[in-house]
Amino acid sequence: MSSDLESLSEATSGAIGSLVSTTILYPLDTCKSKYQAEVQAHGQQKYRYLSDVLWEAIKSNQVLSLYQGLGTKNLQSFVSQFLYFYGYSYFKRLYLAKTGAKSIGTKANLLLAAAAGACNAILTQPLDTASSRMQTSAFGKSKGLFQTLTEGSWSDAFDGLGISLLLTSNPAIQYTVFDQLKQNILKGKQNKAEKGSSPVVLSAFTAFVIGAISKSIATLLTYPAIRCKVMIQAAHDNETKEHRPNVRRTVPGVVRSIWRKEGILGFFKGLQAQILKTVLSSALLLMIKEKITSSTWVLILATRRYLFLTKPRLKSS
Range name among 53-62, 74-83, 224-233 with the lowest pLDDT average: 74-83
What tens digit of pLDDT does each residue of 149-201 get? 887 777 788 888 889 888 888 877 887 888 888 888 888 777 766 655 556 67
Nearest to 14 by CA among 190, 171, 123, 134: 171
Please check the confidence at residue 250 and state whether its pLDDT lies above 50. Answer: yes
**What is residue 100's predicted lDDT score, i.e. its pLDDT?**
83
231 burial via Cβ count (<10 Å: 0-12, 13-18, 19+): buried
Q: 150: how many CB neighbours lie within 10 A of its CB?
A: 14
Determine the Cα–Cα distance for residues 279 and 218; give it in Å rounded to an integer: 10
Range name among 11-20, 31-40, 112-121 with the lowest pLDDT average: 11-20
Please check the confidence at residue 83 and state whether its pLDDT lies above 60. Answer: yes
**What is residue 247's predicted lDDT score, i.e. its pLDDT?**
45
Task: Give percent above pLDDT 90 in the chain.
Answer: 9
User: How many Cα atoms occupy the beta-carbon half-sphere of 169 within 13 Å?
Assistant: 14
Nearest to 116 by CA among 134, 145, 89, 146: 89
Q: Is the pTM of this model over 0.85?
A: no
pLDDT-based confidence at 5, cuts 50/70/90? low
**What is residue 15's predicted lDDT score, i.e. its pLDDT?**
75
For the chain, report the end-to-end CA distance as a whole number of angstroms. 27
Please check the confidence at residue 301 and state whether its pLDDT lies above 80. Answer: no
Give the mean pLDDT of the chain.
Answer: 79
Report the b/e string of 108-136 with b at 16+ CB within 10 A: bbbbbbbebbbbbbeebbbbbbbbbbbbb
CATH tag for 1-192+201-236+247-305 (out of 1.10.1740.10, 1.10.10.10, 1.50.40.10, 3.90.180.10)? 1.50.40.10
User: How many Cα atoms occupy the beta-carbon half-sphere of 107 within 13 Å?
Assistant: 0
Distance of CA 190 to the CA centre of its chain: 31
Please check the confidence at residue 82 and state whether its pLDDT lies above 90. Answer: no
Please check the confidence at residue 139 and state whether its pLDDT lies above 50. Answer: yes
